[in-house]
């Protein structure tokens, strides 16, 4: 009940762990789990980048997460925070908008707050962002887009020979069902392959210009890797000196 003091007895604890806690003086934190919080799933966390950290943060880079009562490290993938059912993959954590970090982690129910750190080479933890849990949803689709470009070689009324997009006949036949677009707004498709060096005949809804560029958009679903690690060491102290000087510095900071 709220406001009650209870005594908890923990059995079968090795003597070494007890001595370690007595030596360090750290508090022992106990918490309860909601249903299914002991299971693993795909966790999605909305993160707003902190303006004090200016270095780029790549997707799949190891970060340290403090979410509620849990602390762990993982290598998440970043994606756009939108209302659609498909979300664009981001290669870096954006500084101008909220990003979603997706990773394998224990189930945590929203709206648990999240604080994200990165560990430097010297062992210190730098704050890179904060946010909240969106939920454990493995069905969230993260899409990575790649763009192939080609140049019109010979132009007729509504057809053109395109080169430099592919260099093999088999690749042209494989991507034949994919729609083509141009920078000037034309749409079309591949009609047939010409020769064996990557030339192809394409049909569009209008005549192309010689300075136009033919584009093919390809999409691939991205999945996070199993990089969850609950063993996160303490950050290195920011101040290194004698015990008396450290105590004096801490007293000045209070």
Residues 125, 128, 132, 134: what is their CA dihedral angle, to the nearest 10 degrees?
-110
> Residue 238 — very low, low, confident or very high, per pLDDT cuts 50/70/90?
low
User: Which of these, 178, 117, 118, lies nearest to 150 by C-alpha position?
Assistant: 178
Helix ranges (H only) for the chain are 15-24, 169-174, 243-253
Q: Is residue 237 part of a domain?
A: no
Q: What is the mean pLDDT of the chain?
A: 89
CA distances from residue 98 to 45, 86, 130, 144 in whole angstroms, order as listed: 10, 16, 10, 18
The answer to whether residues 123 and 148 belong to one domain is: no
User: Which of these, 120, 128, 70, lies nearest to 101 by C-alpha position?
Assistant: 128
pTM: 0.77
Contact of 235 with 119, CB cutoff 8 Å: yes
Strand partners, 122: none
Q: What is the CATH classification number for the domain harbouring 89?
A: 2.40.30.10
What six digits make up the tokens of 143?
Answer: 């899409």
84-111 pLDDT, tens digit each = 899 999 999 999 899 999 999 999 999 9
189-198 pLDDT, tens digit each = 999 999 888 8
User: Which of these, 151, 212, 168, lies nearest to 186 by C-alpha position?
Assistant: 212
The answer to whether residues 105 and 191 belong to one domain is: no
The answer to whether residues 133 and 156 belong to one domain is: no
Domain of residue 173: give its range.
144-220
Q: What angle do CA 117, 119, 121 make, to 5 degrees?
A: 160
Res 237: pLDDT: 66
Res 243: pLDDT: 53
* CA dihedral over 14, 19, 24, 30, signed as positive or negative: positive
Q: Is residue 84 part of a domain?
A: yes
What six digits make up the tokens of 168?
Answer: 């093999």
42-100 pLDDT, tens digit each = 999 999 999 999 999 999 999 999 998 899 999 999 999 999 899 999 999 999 899 99
Q: What is the CATH classification number for the domain harbouring 170?
A: 2.40.10.190
The answer to whether residues 111 and 135 belong to one domain is: yes
Q: Is residue 241 part of a domain?
A: no
Neighbours of 28 (CB within 10 A): 7
Neighbours of 89 (CB within 10 A): 18
Q: Is residue 33 part of a domain?
A: no
Quote the percentage of the chain above a pLDDT of 90: 68
The answer to whether residues 77 and 166 belong to one domain is: no
The number of domains in the chain is: 2
DSSP annotation of 35: T
Neighbours of 158 (CB within 10 A): 14
């Amino acid at each position: 009940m709220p406001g009650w003091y209870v005594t908890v007895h923990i059995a079968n604890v090795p003597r070494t762990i007890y001595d370690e806690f007595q030596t360090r003086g750290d508090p022992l934190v106990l918490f309860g789990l909601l249903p299914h919080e002991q299971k693993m799933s795909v966790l999605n966390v909305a993160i707003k980048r902190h303006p004090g950290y200016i270095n780029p943060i790549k997707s799949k880079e190891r970060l340290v997460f403090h979410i509620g009562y849990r602390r762990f490290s993982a290598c998440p993938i970043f994606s756009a925070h939108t209302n659609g059912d498909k979300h664009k993959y981001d290669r870096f954590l954006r500084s101008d908008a909220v990003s979603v970090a997706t990773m394998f982690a224990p189930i945590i129910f929203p709206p648990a707050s999240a604080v994200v750190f990165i560990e430097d080479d010297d062992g210190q933890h730098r704050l890179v962002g904060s946010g909240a849990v969106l939920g454990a949803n493995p069905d969230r689709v993260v899409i990575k887009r790649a763009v192939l470009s080609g140049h019109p070689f010979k132009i007729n009324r509504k057809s053109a020979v395109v080169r430099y997009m592919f260099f093999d006949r088999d690749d042209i036949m494989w991507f034949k069902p994919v729609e083509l677009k141009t920078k000037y707004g034309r749409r079309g498709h591949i009609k047939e392959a010409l020769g064996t060096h990557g030339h192809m005949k394409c049909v569009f809804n209008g005549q192309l210009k010689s300075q136009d560029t033919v584009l093919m958009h390809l999409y691939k679903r991205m999945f996070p890797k199993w990089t969850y690690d609950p063993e996160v060491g303490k950050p290195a102290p920011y101040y290194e000196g004698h015990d008396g000087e450290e105590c004096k510095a801490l007293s000045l900071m209070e």
